[in-house]
Homo-oligomer: A and B are copies of this chain.
Amino acid sequence: MSLRHILLGMLSRPHSGYDLKKQFNQSLRNFWNAELSQIYPQLQKLEKDGLLTSKQIASSNGPPRRVYTRSDKGRRELLSWLANGPNVGEERISYLAQVFFLSELTDTAAAIRFMQELRDHMMSWLESLQEVERRWQAEDPRYPDALADEDFYPQLTLALGLRKVRCNLDWCDECIARLKRRCAADFS
C-alpha cells in the first residue's frame, strides 16, 4: 500500500495529479513509478477517505486543474507509515531474474552480450544521475549538507542511486570478465 503513502508524502504542498506524475518522472523514478491512470483514481480515493481535500483551479495555459492538499488526517497517516520503520525485502528486480536463467541461452557469447547491454543501461543511468547532481550543485550553494530538510532527504536517495548504479556497473564488469574466462576455458 505504498503509492497511497507516497502521494501523501508528495502533497506536503498542493499539487494536481498531472504535477505529481511529472515529479515521478523527475525525482522519484529511481525507486518508484506510477501511471496517471493509477494516480487519478488513487487521489479520488484518498479524498473520499478524508486524507486529502481538493479544489478546481483555473490554469493560465491549459484546462482547469484539480489541486489536492493533504489534510491533518493525511499527515498522520503518512507519519504512521514512517513510524512503522523501513519496508525492506520487497524488491523486485526483473533483470536479476533474467541473469538467474541465462544458462538457458545457447552459448556464453549470448550471455556476455546480455551483460554488456545491461552495463550500457547502467552507464547511461549513471550519467543521468551525475547530470542531476551537477545541476543541483551548480544551482544551490547549500548542496548537499546545508540543504533544507525537504531537499536534504531527497538528496540522500540520490546519493544511494549513485552508489548503487556504480555498484551495478562494477558487478557487470566482473561478470563479463568471469564469463570471458569461462568462454576461453570452453575452447581449451
Contacts and interface: CB of A to CB of B under 8 A. Distances in A.
Contacts of A30: 91, 96
A57 interface: no
Interface in A74-128: 75, 78-79, 81-82, 85-105, 111, 114, 117-118, 121-122, 125
A65 interface: no
Q: How large is the interface on A (under 10, 10 to 19, 20 to 34, 35 or more residues)?
A: 35 or more
A45 interface: no
Nearest to A172: B160
Interface of A: 2, 5-6, 9, 12, 28-33, 75, 78-79, 81-82, 85-105, 111, 114, 117-118, 121-122, 125, 145, 149-150, 152-154, 156-157, 159-160, 163-164, 167-168, 170-171, 174-175, 178, 181-182
Given A96-B157, A100-B157, 6 more contacts: A2-B94, A5-B97, A6-B101, A88-B122, A91-B92, A164-B164
